[in-house]
């Protein structure tokens, strides 16, 4: 068995335990395998293990991977999630290749994605990235900008607004992790008063998956625990 297959099984069982602990159904938490910087062969191993949802952070690398797998057919369609920072001049390849974008942090980015989404493709699923820690240096909308941004983006024809995403400040202890994720879940609950169709909370990575599930995450984005440490050299 490949180590990637073992790692995926391990992460799925961790999600199951975390869900069980807080009385949630394990099926309500989707695993997104974050394959950024990892080779095609690693994604092939994950697919062979029955996993079909991948997250990428860098436009060119992500598009190359989407194109590589586009010609093959699999028992299930592969879904590609863009989760990295977005420059406004790089929106077109994202709009043309991905199924989801988790990192929309400005209305302008959403408008471009909607305009550039090809008519023959399904609408692009959108999550608004929230800066829950309120740091000026971090990307993401501030809490007070979210409602207005959601109202505008929900009107855009080639997008479907699905929910919120955050990358909280790194915290080692469970209680601080839980507090940050709970903030995002509360914001989503507030947003649902005017946008009841929202169904997705993208939160939790390799180091804070348990707290994210406890706070109501519906997509955990897991890289290191599946593919091993990344080498940026
Ligand atoms: C890299 C990355 C992840 C995966 O992080 P790990 O700690 O390796 O699980 C998740 N989300 C985003 C936005 C990332 O950039």
pLDDT tens column, 1-27? 579 999 999 999 999 999 999 999 999
Residue 78's region, left for phi above 0, alpha for psi from -120 to 50, else beta, is: beta
Pocket flag, ligand 1, residue 205 (CB < 6 Å): yes
Cβ within 8 Å of residue 152, ≥6 positions away: 107, 110
Q: Provide the residue range defining the domain that includes 126.
A: 3-227
Residue 137 predicted with pLDDT over 80: no
Ligand 1 atom closest to the Cα of residue 102 is 13
Q: What is the domain-level CATH number for residue 181?
A: 3.20.20.10
Residue 146 lies in a domain: yes
Residue 232 lies in a domain: no
Give the residue-averaged pLDDT of 154-182.
96
Question: What residue owns the CA closest to ligand 1's atom 7?
Answer: 206
Best CA proximity match to 203, nearest among 177, 226, 233: 177
Pocket flag, ligand 1, residue 62 (CB < 6 Å): no
Best CA proximity match to 204, nearest among 168, 179, 176: 168
Question: What residue owns the CA closest to ligand 1's atom 6?
Answer: 223
Q: Which of 100-114, 137-151, 162-176, 204-218 has the lowest mean pLDDT?
A: 137-151
Residue 233 lies in a domain: no
pTM of the model: 0.96
pLDDT at 132: 81
Question: What residue owns the CA closest to ligand 1's atom 12?
Answer: 83
pLDDT at 231: 87
Residue 55 lies in a domain: yes
Query: pLDDT-based confidence at 133, cuts 50/70/90?
Result: confident
Q: How far is the CA of 198 from the centre of ligand 1 (A)?
A: 23
pLDDT, the chain, mean: 95
pLDDT at 134: 67
Domain count, the chain: 1
Give the residue-averaged pLDDT of 131-159.
88
Residue 79 lies in a domain: yes
Q: How far is the CA of 145 from the centre of ligand 1 (A)?
A: 24
Residue 210 lies in a domain: yes
Ligand 1 atom closest to the Cα of residue 34 is 4
Query: pLDDT-based confidence at 76, cuts 50/70/90?
Result: very high
pLDDT at 43: 98
Pocket flag, ligand 1, residue 224 (CB < 6 Å): yes
Residue 225 predicted with pLDDT over 70: yes
Pocket flag, ligand 1, residue 36 (CB < 6 Å): yes
Per-residue CA distances from 202 to 68, 70, 96, 118 (Å): 26, 25, 22, 25
Give the residue-averaged pLDDT of 170-188.
95
DSSP state of 197: T
Q: Angle of helix 143-153 relative to helix 107-116, nearest 10 degrees? A: 20
Pocket flag, ligand 1, residue 83 (CB < 6 Å): yes
H or E segment to which residue 79 belongs? strand 79-82
pLDDT at 184: 96
Pocket flag, ligand 1, residue 7 (CB < 6 Å): no
Pocket flag, ligand 1, residue 113 (CB < 6 Å): no
Give the residue-averaged pLDDT of 44-54.
97
Residue 87 predicted with pLDDT over 80: yes
Its sign, for the CA torsion 185, 188, 193, 198, is negative
SS3 of 6, please?
Answer: helix
Q: How far is the CA of 32 from the centre of ligand 1 (A)?
A: 10
């Amino acid at each position: 068995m490949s180590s990637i297959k073992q790692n995926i099984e391990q992460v799925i069982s961790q999600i199951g335990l975390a869900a069980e602990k807080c009385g949630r159904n394990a099926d309500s938490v989707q695993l997104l395998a974050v394959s950024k910087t990892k080779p095609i062969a690693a994604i092939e191993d994950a697919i062979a293990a029955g996993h079909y949802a991948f997250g990428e952070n860098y436009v060119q690398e992500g598009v190359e991977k989407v194109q590589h797998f586009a010609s093959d057919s699999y028992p299930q369609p592969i879904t590609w999630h863009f989760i990295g920072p977005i420059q406004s001049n790089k929106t077109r390849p994202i709009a043309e290749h991905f199924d989801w974008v988790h990192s929309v942090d400005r209305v302008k980015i959403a408008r471009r994605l909607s305009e550039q989404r090809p008519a023959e493709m399904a609408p692009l699923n959108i999550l608004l990235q929230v800066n829950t820690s309120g740091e000026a240096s971090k990307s993401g909308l501030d809490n007070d900008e979210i409602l207005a941004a959601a109202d505008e983006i929900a009107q855009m024809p080639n997008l479907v607004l699905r929910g919120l995403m955050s990358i909280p400040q790194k915290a080692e202890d469970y209680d601080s992790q839980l507090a940050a994720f709970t903030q995002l879940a509360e914001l989503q609950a507030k947003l649902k008063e005017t946008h009841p169709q929202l169904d997705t909370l993208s939160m939790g990575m390799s180091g804070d998956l348990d707290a994210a599930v406890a706070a109501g995450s519906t997509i955990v984005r897991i890289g290191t625990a599946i593919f091993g440490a990344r080498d940026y050299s």
